[in-house]
Structure 1
């Protein structure tokens, strides 16, 4: 059973959507804590998200960007804001479609089914899954998963971007400039501290796979990946 997550602060609209969608055999989860949307998203791993623009604390554009850092699941905006710029903003921030209120439930269901087919079903792209593999370490790029032996860890989008760059350059050094450019893919400024934080997270994910001291800091240049077959006595930062 596929799961639809609804992020809508108007409870009446959210509950009506839930009731209608569940008639078609989908599981529906409503968001009630609008400051912890990503915690709920990570916990339930929905197949599709219906997302309002006007929300408490942070707007839907913000949450769509956060989702896109972790997942490529379909995101459909549902909003009373019918302006052209609102729809452009939604698409620019990672949405797959935009539905204006008041909406027809039949249209909503048609768009949901269309996006689910495109992402997972009969219209899904018929191509081999992209992966990057070196010395038994495998990055599943679309899944945001990393495996080594029988161990698996989930990654954020930025963690996956860093690991992809390290694997592609392996056993050479990936420069800090190249890594920053890789992370700066959503037109959001990424500073040096952001890279440092994400490198620390990457090291922890590799440790969870049993790979200790797998990322070497090459001072003044960047970072180099060390896998068991090529581990040296180089100083780690």
Structure 2
């Protein structure tokens, strides 16, 4: 059953949304601590987010970016702001749809069903899985799995690791990685090093140590050392 996260500081609207979501057979929950939106997202892992813009502390644009950095799940922004710039900002920050208040709850539910079908149901594109010796990378989810454990990744981390996995155990040059992640944009060596360090951290979270090798003067190589360890 699909789970929907509601981030809305108007208690009446949040409760009404939750009632309709449950009426149509979905699970739902309301975030009531607006400093812990991303924590609740990680804990519950919802299939969709309904997100208001005018929130305490950080606005909805901020939380939209935070969620989109770790997940491709649908985000529908629901806001009293009806300007074109507000809608444009929501979409540019990662939202999939935008609705202005006041709204008809039946239309909200229709948009919810449509987004769920696109992401998870009849209209969903078959999910890609990048595999290497039991290591599973889900690019659309931005998740890495091994032996029942999983870690969330950012978009750039996902692209970087996908490139390393697809070429493993060959060396991937710095030029190839830079082109994949930043196109023609100039970045310094430290930026690339930071992203490599983050990949090592994600692998370590799954119990994989010393798999990502730095080949001095050339690039990087991902060695599936975890497969050898399991075979012993």
Q: TM-score, normalised by structure 1?
A: 0.81
The residue number in structure 1 matching 2:59 is 59
Higher fraction of helix: 2
The residue number in structure 2 matching 1:130 is 128
**Mapped partners of 2:148, 2:104: distance in 1:** 46
Larger mean CA deviation between 56-65 and 71-80 belongs to: 56-65
**Mapped partners of 1:183, 1:62: distance in 2:** 23
Q: CA deviation at 1:99?
A: 0.4
Q: CA deviation at 1:14?
A: 1.4
Q: CA deviation at 1:214?
A: 0.6
Distance 1:200 1:106, change over 3 A: same
Q: Decide which of 128, 139, 142 is 2:140's aligned counterpart.
A: 142
The residue number in structure 1 matching 2:167 is 169
Question: Over the residues paired in the alignment, what is the CA RMSD in angstroms?
Answer: 2.8
5+ unaligned residues in a row in structure 2: which ranges? Answer: none
Matches within 5 A, 1:33-182: 33-125=33-125, 127=126, 129-148=127-146, 150-157=147-154, 158-176=156-174, 178-180=176-178, 182=180
Q: CA deviation at 1:194?
A: 5.5
5+ unaligned residues in a row in structure 1: which ranges? Answer: 232-237
Q: CA deviation at 1:104?
A: 0.9
Aligned length in residues:
225
Q: CA deviation at 1:144?
A: 3.0
Distance 1:3 1:164, change over 3 A: same
Q: CA deviation at 1:38?
A: 0.7
The residue number in structure 2 matching 1:234 is none
- 8 Å contact kept, 1:139–1:145: yes
Q: TM-score, normalised by structure 2?
A: 0.83
Q: CA deviation at 1:168?
A: 2.5
Q: CA deviation at 1:124?
A: 2.0
Distance 1:175 1:85, change over 3 A: farther
Moved over 6 A (4+): none
Distance 1:119 1:84, change over 3 A: same
Q: Decide which of 171, 183, 199 is 1:202's aligned counterpart.
A: 199
